[in-house]
Amino acid sequence: MTTLDGSSRSQSEVHKEVEEGKNRADLRYVRRILNWIVLPLLEKRGFKVKGGKFIFPEAAEPLTVENVVSLSKIMPIPVSYLRDKYSIPEPQEGEEIAGEAASPKASPQPPPKEGEKEKQPVDKDGNPIENADHTPSLSGRDGVGFFRRLYDFFASAPGSGALNGNRLTLDDTEGLTQSETLIRRVADGLRTFDPDLFDWLARDLISALDTPVQTGHALSLADLGFAYNYQNDAFRTAQELNLFHFSAAKSLAEIQRLNELYRQSKSFEDFYKAASAELDVFNKTWQKTEWQTAGLIAASTQNYNRLAAKTKLFPYWEYRTVGDDKVRPEHAKLHGVILPANDPRWKKIWPPNGWKCRCYVVARMAHEVKDVDFDAMRARVDAYFETEEWKSAEAQGFGVNRALSPELFKADQMYIKKFPNQAAKLLKDVNFNSYGLKSYKAMRGAVTGDLPLYDGTAGDFIASLQKQAGKSLFTDYNGRAIEFDESVFLKGHSPAKYAARTKYFKAVSETLKSPDEVWINNVDSTEKLFNQYVFLKYYKDVTLAVIGAIEEGTVYRVKTWFPVRENARTKYAYRWGLLIKKPGN
């Protein structure tokens, strides 16, 4: 930029600002090297630096006249420094002097007579005042007084970054980005699963399910279009389960990749640069694509269920694109294709048909399509099946009607293929300690409530539950219906055990509505599928566990419940895997 560009700032000023910005970035980088690499080395070699941090002190502020006057009372300031600083010339002989300096100097006190002691000033209590004239002598007792006053002058100034005993006091984590924090954890020894990364990835993707997406028509994502609300709730919970699986696999893959880069790097600087670039791809570029795709599939699912329920009135469907310059050419050729709703081609081309595909389907009545050549329409779709675009989409897990399944991401689309089948092995060492949680006993010690007991019959309690289509429904912490089928329960429990557990019905309802923790693992799955929900609630005297499950994406039900026997065998039995609800959240 120059002054000819219409700005009053010169080019040199702009360049100076840019250079200063680079310098600040370099300082931050050096600080991280010192704190992440050098400090641990110093500590290993016996230096008492544990808990300390390096900082770069800010540049000293320029002195004002008031500062100079104050400082002159406790330290000698060369007159030449002041003349140079304020461009004050040396006065000529006989020249009039301004201010207090023009006043005649007081005559010096005569020296004491021989044998007479010099009088020493005293304070109001009669105590002698050391170095009362503030003469900054650097030897003897006067020297002690000067340095004490110098310490007192600076004592109230902030000491951030200064040594406190043998410890540096800067908080090094201040200002670190999410990526920098993750890089630091890997450098510090993180090798497998990062709970914070998993939580962020999962929450971000789940938010896509509630965000309207641009598909060319309005959609309300709260209703997936099923006949009953409990079916909507089960399908939505299954979609979230899929996203939890996807996010866990991605978290494991990211940490694995960062460790590969760490081993390959010749220096921390190399690792930092390579890891930062990799995380930008994982958590910005790819995450944005995955977020959009999850939202588009959820919207398409709702649209499919709505249209499928109205085929008597709207027996034909039309394929549409949003019509902008981002539409794939192959998809543009499908725009306007109209086929009967029962045509098998819809099982393959129901959108989305690729990452970030925004195509959609609208319903048509019979009289609207009376002049349509359906053979020509089928030929257009069959031609699409021969394109490289279709083959690529099919290989990436598309090419099916995604609305028929709650799997927003197929098992082969996950960063670790077939992750749900491998989750138990990959996450076997991830437990409550990994998430920074305390033991059962410690968690119970922090609550005051007693376990509520139910003294009625099972039949009476079940009769009091919400009903839809003959189903008895509890409500979970998301406000969703979760089914309880007494006949299914009795297949796995004896009547005597059922009778013994009836007294916990009130606590079951409380635990589902307001659990302290919710885990996903395979604790009660005969097939060892990673689709079991463990709801835990802490009471003063006991911890209650309720086990729920998602079955085939359409059933969300309570399987069993019991008070946890807190011993070495059960220490990790229920509190392992993916923690999707933390205490206090």
Q: 337-377 pLDDT, tens per residue?
A: 999 999 999 999 999 999 989 999 999 999 999 999 999 99
- What pLDDT does residue 226 have? 52
pLDDT in tens, 268-311: 889 999 999 999 999 999 999 999 999 989 888 888 988 998 99
Reported confidence tier of residue 469, pLDDT bands at 50, 70, 90:
confident
- What pLDDT does residue 139 have? 39
- What pLDDT does residue 33 have? 79
DSSP string, 228-258: SHHHHHHHHHHHHHHHHHHHHHHHHHHHHHH
**Sheet with strand 360-364: strands edge to edge:** 338-340, 316-320, 360-364
Q: Is pLDDT at 194 greater than 90 in this prediction?
A: yes
430 by Cβ neighbours in 10 Å (0-12 / 13-18 / 19+) ranks as: buried
- What pLDDT does residue 390 have? 93
**Highest-pLDDT range among 12-26, 39-53, 204-218, 473-487:** 473-487
Place of tokens 């009836």: 502
Average pLDDT over residues 230-240: 89
pLDDT in tens, 128-138: 544 444 433 33
Reported confidence tier of residue 241, pLDDT bands at 50, 70, 90:
very high
- What pLDDT does residue 446 have? 94
Q: Is pLDDT at 198 greater than 50 in this prediction?
A: yes
Name beta bridge partners: 517.
536
Q: Look up the pTM and report it.
A: 0.68
Q: What is the mean pLDDT of the chain?
A: 81
Place of tokens 């000067």: 146
High-pLDDT (> 90) share of the chain, %: 52
Average pLDDT over residues 372-392: 95
- What pLDDT does residue 118 have? 46
Count CB-CB contacts under 10 A for residue 280.
Answer: 12
- What pLDDT does residue 343 have? 96
Q: Is pLDDT at 141 greater than 80 in this prediction?
A: no
High-pLDDT (> 70) share of the chain, %: 77
Rg, the chain, Cα only: 37
Distance (Å, whole) CA 372 – CA 346: 17
Least-confidence region, from 165-179, 260-274, 386-400: 165-179
- What pLDDT does residue 320 have? 94
Reported confidence tier of residue 492, pLDDT bands at 50, 70, 90:
confident
Reported confidence tier of residue 142, pLDDT bands at 50, 70, 90:
very low
For residue 350, give every residue at least 6 positions away whose Cβ sits within 8 Å of its Cβ, in sequence order, or none.
300, 304, 361, 401, 402, 403
pLDDT in tens, 525-576: 777 789 999 999 999 999 999 999 998 777 899 999 999 999 988 999 999 9
For residue 462, give every residue at least 6 positions away whose Cβ sits within 8 Å of its Cβ, in sequence order, or none.
472, 484, 486
Q: Which residue has better confidence, 175 or 168?
A: 175
Reported confidence tier of residue 232, pLDDT bands at 50, 70, 90:
confident
The full length of the chain comes to 585
- What pLDDT does residue 52 have? 80
Reported confidence tier of residue 577, pLDDT bands at 50, 70, 90:
very high
Q: Is pLDDT at 110 greater than 60 in this prediction?
A: no
- What pLDDT does residue 212 have? 62
pLDDT in tens, 424-444: 999 999 999 999 999 999 999
pLDDT in tens, 61-92: 667 777 777 777 777 878 777 777 777 777 77
Structural contact between residues 305 and 402, judged by C-beta atoms closer than 8 angstroms = no
Reported confidence tier of residue 31, pLDDT bands at 50, 70, 90:
confident
- DSSP at 284: I
- What pLDDT does residue 156 have? 35
